[in-house]
Structure 1
Amino acid sequence: MSETPELQLPSYAGIPEQKIILVSDDQSLQRARLYLTAEAVLGFDTESKPVFMRGQDSDGPHLVQLATPEWAFLFPIVTQAQVELARALLKEVLESPDILKVGFGLGDDNQRLLNKLGVKVQKVLDLSRSLSTDRKRQMGAKAAVEKYFGQVLQKSKRISTSNWSALTLNQKQLKYAADDAQSALLVYLASLQVDGNSRKS
């Protein structure tokens, strides 16, 4: 008797490329400010160039991602010019007590942002902890997307460990970074509905 093959889950489509905004000039910065400051909850993540040598410190993060339900805004902070462009808005949003920032595995992000930008992140929720039922085994983004959407979030190690300090990021990097932030937000919103409904029933 042959076993029934496991049901293949569909891939998580993620955010369309035209909804990903790389904040690189005043025009894109003002657009980001308009959208981000209007939200009560944002998806949040950072990316850093990996460190492969023992004892070597990272000068990351090199990219900060903030997402609304429809848009993802990516802030490269590699050069001094990029840092100066992004710093004021990132400080305004990330330090705001009125905007909740949600993401997965934010352990080092807040300290690195303080070290690099002088930004002290406030009102942040790490979904790895808040969605987990087991203290020893925290829920990651892939497991959460599967649980709440029945889809598979593609997490390429080749992209996650790529050079995030490159002056020009490729489309795969931009899509990966945008999906990281936006999927966290969508999972959080879905969890509110599921948990709310379970409490009512």
Structure 2
Amino acid sequence: MQASPNTKASFWSHTMYRDPKTADPDFKRIKVHYCKTKEVGETVAKYFLNEKVIGFDIEWKYDFRPADIKENASLIQIACENRIALFHISLYKGKTADELLPPTLKTILESPDIAKVGVAIRGDFTRCWTYLGIKACHQIELSRLHNLVEYRDMAPKMVNNKLVGMAKQVQTHLQLPLAKGDVRKSDWSKPLTTEQVEYAASDAYAGFRIYDVLEMKRKAMKPVPTPPAPFDWD
């Protein structure tokens, strides 16, 4: 059975997945934590301390004021296999990076032992450094891994660092289009609507899932190529 075009079922979403770590049918859906306070964010961030790979994304207000932290780093999203966390920095009390950023979230993003995966991730972490003082380590650009897997054997000259959009990678590796639309240009500094929560959660989770598929494809190649090197804050 095929989903009707432009319905929710016709687009990729984190809601398609189930938590493999629980046998309880009432808690099978991937957990989404929408953290509206720094205190809740600190508690939730601790769930991710032992992860090896997390999907990462950040949202900001499109008509931001250059000096405003909350408009330039409004929402940070991270995801692992069974949960997603949305840290709504712009709603937290305070004005400085130290006042706004949950310490454990900073630890995770700066840890060399936890890979952060995403598209255009270096630009995202440049924003994190500029406004939140985060020196992110072990960043993996999914575009580089995508280009390696897709083109090494058929078009080696295309194995490069050119960015490939999240939507294209979702379509290629997860087999469904990613719903984007106007929601991506929302005011992310305000409390999120249900649609915004869905979009933000799916973006971070897509990064995690794409990395998983790309690594599976890379390891199936003969000979197995070396993965693109991660990069750190500099």
**If the TM-score is normalised by the length of the shorter chain, which range does it land in?**
0.7 to 0.9
Q: How well do the aligned residues superpose, as a CA RMSD in angstroms?
A: 2.6
Quick one: percent identity of the two aligned structures? 29
Query: Does residue 178 of the first structure (1) align with residue 228 of the second (2)?
Result: no
Q: 1:106 to 1:28 in 2, by over 3 A?
A: closer
Moved more, 15-24 or 110-119: 15-24
Q: 1:27 to 1:95 in 2, by over 3 A?
A: same
Task: Give the superposition deviation at 1:151.
Answer: 1.1
**Quick one: distance in 2 between partners of 1:75 and 1:62?**
8
Task: Give the superposition deviation at 1:15.
Answer: 3.3
Counterpart contact for 2:35–2:41, Cα < 8 Å: yes
Partner of 2:219: 196
Q: Give per-residue Cα distances to partners, 1:130-156, cap 9 Å, x unaligned.
A: 322534853211111121121111112
Gaps of 5+ in 2: 17-28, 152-157, 225-234
Moved more, 23-32 or 65-74: 23-32
**Quick one: distance in 2 between partners of 1:194 and 1:155?**
26
Counterpart contact for 2:45–2:105, Cα < 8 Å: no
Residue of structure 1 aligned with 2:36, choices 5, 24, 27: 24
Query: Does residue 139 of the first structure (1) align with residue 164 of the second (2)?
Result: yes
Counterpart contact for 1:15–1:70, Cα < 8 Å: no
Gaps of 5+ in 1: 1-7
Partner of 1:5: none
**Quick one: distance in 2 between partners of 1:90 and 1:28?**
8
> SS where residue 195 of structure 1 aligns?
helix
Counterpart contact for 1:10–1:150, Cα < 8 Å: no
Residue of structure 1 aligned with 2:108, choices 77, 82, 93: 93
Give the alignment of 1:35-184 within 5 angstroms.
35-51=47-63, 57=66, 59=68, 60-79=72-91, 81=93, 84=99, 86-132=101-147, 133=151, 134=158, 135=160, 137-156=162-181, 158-166=182-190, 168-184=191-207
Across the two proteins, how many residue pairs are aligned to each other?
Answer: 188
Moved more, 60-69 or 80-89: 80-89
TM-score, normalised with respect to structure 2: 0.71
Counterpart contact for 2:30–2:82, Cα < 8 Å: no
Task: Give the superposition deviation at 1:69.
Answer: 1.2
Moved more, 175-184 or 140-149: 140-149
Task: Give the superposition deviation at 1:11.
Answer: 2.2
Q: Give per-residue Cα distances to partners, 1:29-78, cap 9 Å, x unaligned.
A: 32331x210200000000011028xxx63741110001011211011111
**Quick one: distance in 1 between partners of 2:193 and 2:129?**
27
The aligned amino acid for 1:149 is L
